[in-house]
Each structure stands twice: as structure tokens, then as C-alpha cells.
Structure 1
Amino acid sequence: MRKQALIHMHALAVELRAAVSSSRRNTPTPDAFVEYDDGEVTPATVYHQKDAHKAAVQLLLEGTVETISIDTESESESRAQSQTTVETVQPPE
């Protein structure tokens, strides 16, 4: 992949992070993006090496997946609890 395309992907990953984090359904864990935030590489820092942008994209995507996975797990638990409640409330036939 060319460096220019990788920087574009980096910018898209930043936008994806913002969209996922601002969603009412997703709450990122405090440490989901710490490693990325501690780094110096952003899409605007085009002078950094290609490998640095590649690592930054990887960190962003891992944090995004972690955020989505946590939300999916809690949503599944919520559904299971609501189904149990519905089953116990129904009158006997």
C-alpha cells in the first residue's frame, strides 16, 4: 500500500473512532485508545514513516473493535435478561 493511501486510511480510522465513540450505544473503555493517544502520529503528520502510520491505524482499529465488542456483549446480556423477564411474566396457559 502506498504511503498516501495509508495516510488516507489513517484519517478514515480517526473518523470511525469518532463516530463509534460518539454513538449512544458505544462507550469506549478508558484504555481503548490510550496507546494511540500517547503516540505522536496523526493523519496530519505526513512526515512520519509509513510503518508509523500503519501502527497507528492498527491501534485505532483495535480500540474501535474493543469498543464495539464491549457494547455487543452488554447488549447480548441485556437481551437475555429481558427475555427471561418476559418469560416469567407471561400467565400460565
Structure 2
Amino acid sequence: MLNQKWTADITYIWTCEGWVYLAVVLDLFLRRIIVWNLEIRMTANLATTALQRAIALRQSSPDCVHHADRGSQYFSKAYRKLLSAHGLVNT
């Protein structure tokens, strides 16, 4: 069902002005990107802003399962706090 399983990832893209980093949150039911965030640095803020936008745009189900790799951006205190505050289950 919609908004029950989300996943997130970061990739990098070369541009004429240098590298940029793209964080996305996907709804696995739709198999589509819900939101994205683009920044010039790969920090916890990159991932946290994307998740904040997803939460603002969509109402996640109670106990929505959220999966991301164990990179420092997704394991940051701010990211984990945001997951917890909105009832997202981190796997």
C-alpha cells in the first residue's frame, strides 16, 4: 500500500560546475521518487531535508518502514530523531 514502505539513497552527479549530490526518497509501492534534494555537499542535512520534504508532502502510515544504507548521513542523530518523531521504522 501507499506510504507504508519508503527507501532513500544518495548519488552524485558531475556538472560543468563540479559535483552535486542528489538525495531521494522513494515510495516502494509506487516505485517512484516522492521527493529529492540537491546540494553541493554530501552532509546529513542533504538526507534530512529530503526526508522532511517527504513527510511534509505525504502522510506516512503508522509504522511506515524506512530503509536506507548505513552511511553517516542516514545514521546521523538528526536523521534518526526525525524518523522517530514521525513514527518511521528504520531498517
Higher-helix-fraction structure: 1
TM-score interval for Structure 1 and Structure 2 normalised by the shorter chain: under 0.3
Larger gyration radius, structure 1 or structure 2:
1
Higher-strand-fraction structure: 2
State the TM-score, normalizing by the size of structure 2: 0.26
